[in-house]
């Protein structure tokens, strides 16, 4: 049998527990308001803004994506720095995609090679191959006939597969440098997608607006250097930091 004494004290106990819970919540709120905000790891301000020292570091939001397809291989330099190398020197044909932190003016230099025996210029024993190169940058820069192009390996001369001969031209040591003089080079020649006949990986990447380019001889010219310069007057980087390491000229130094 329940006594009246216990029934009389139950509301009082409940009110006491509620008061303690309320007091605890108020205390936690006051402490939270007076506590300093937690420090963020990695430095830098909000959304890539300046940190406590005024340094602004670039973020991935400042980068652009570059898609490259070459028949059969390429190496890419941006502003004299090695940026990308085709990881597959022959087949299967592949697309290389890299993230790039752009700096303008931007000098782009590419060496592209078709599959060709250096002694005969032939592929698969007795076949004449053909090349093709295409590239697209996330800032809208694309390969087209405004680029410069020069061949450094031709063959088989006169398309003679029975008695194949080749012609090699020495490649300048600083062909990728910003100040390299390509003023006497011819413009690149554009080729249709049907003529180059790219393999399936090409269709999986974004090359809209870009053109396949080579020299005037897609079949016999086997080692090509392409160059172009992209200007953006008035462009300034959002960040104010620069790397301390020097990769200019890599991997030669």
Q: Tokens 């973020």 appear where? A: 59
Per-10-residue mean pLDDT of the chain, 253 residues long, equals 45 48 47 50 59 92 98 97 94 96 98 97 96 98 98 98 98 96 98 98 98 98 98 96 83 74
Contact in structure between 148 and 226 (CB atoms under 8 Å): yes
User: pLDDT value at position 75?
Assistant: 98
User: pLDDT value at position 208?
Assistant: 98
User: For residues 95 and 113, what is the distance between their CA atoms, to the nearest angstrom?
Assistant: 15
Domain boundaries, the chain: 1-35, 60-230
User: pLDDT value at position 43?
Assistant: 47
User: For residues 62 and 49, what is the distance between their CA atoms, to the nearest angstrom?
Assistant: 12
Taking domain 60-230, whether its CATH number is 2.60.120 is answered by: yes
> Measuring CA to CA, which residue among 102, 107, 105, 246 is closest to residue 178?
107
pTM above 0.85, yes or no: no
User: pLDDT value at position 251?
Assistant: 72
What lies within 8 Å, CB to CB, of 186 at 6+ separation is: 148, 149, 150, 215, 216
User: pLDDT value at position 25?
Assistant: 52
User: pLDDT value at position 126?
Assistant: 94
User: pLDDT value at position 47?
Assistant: 61
User: For residues 101 and 98, what is the distance between their CA atoms, to the nearest angstrom?
Assistant: 10
User: pLDDT value at position 248?
Assistant: 73
User: pLDDT value at position 2?
Assistant: 42
């Amino acid at each position: 049998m329940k006594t009246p004494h216990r029934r009389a004290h139950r509301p009082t106990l409940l009110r006491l527990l509620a008061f303690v819970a309320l007091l605890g919540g108020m205390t936690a709120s006051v402490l939270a308001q007076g506590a300093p905000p937690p420090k963020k790891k990695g430095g830098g301000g909000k959304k890539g803004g300046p940190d406590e020292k005024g340094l602004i570091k670039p973020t991935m939001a400042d980068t652009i994506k570059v898609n490259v397809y070459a028949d059969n291989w390429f190496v890419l330099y941006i502003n004299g720095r090695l940026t990308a190398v085709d990881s597959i020197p022959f087949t299967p044909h592949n697309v290389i995609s890299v993230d790039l932190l752009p700096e303008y003016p931007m000098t782009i230099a590419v060496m592209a090679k078709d599959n060709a025996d250096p002694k005969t210029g032939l592929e698969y024993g007795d076949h004449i191959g053909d090349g093709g190169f295409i590239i697209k940058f996330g800032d809208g820069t694309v390969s087209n006939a405004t680029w410069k192009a020069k061949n450094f390996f031709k063959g088989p001369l006169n398309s003679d597969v029975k008695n194949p001969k080749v012609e090699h031209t020495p490649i300048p040591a600083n062909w990728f440098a910003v100040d390299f003089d390509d003023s006497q080079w011819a413009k690149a020649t554009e080729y249709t997608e049907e003529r180059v006949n790219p393999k399936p990986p090409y269709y999986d990447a974004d090359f809209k607006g870009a053109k396949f380019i080579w020299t005037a001889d897609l079949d016999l010219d086997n080692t090509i250097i392409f160059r172009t310069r992209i200007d953006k007057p008035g462009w300034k980087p959002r960040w104010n930091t620069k790397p301390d390491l020097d990769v200019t000229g890599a991997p030669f130094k």
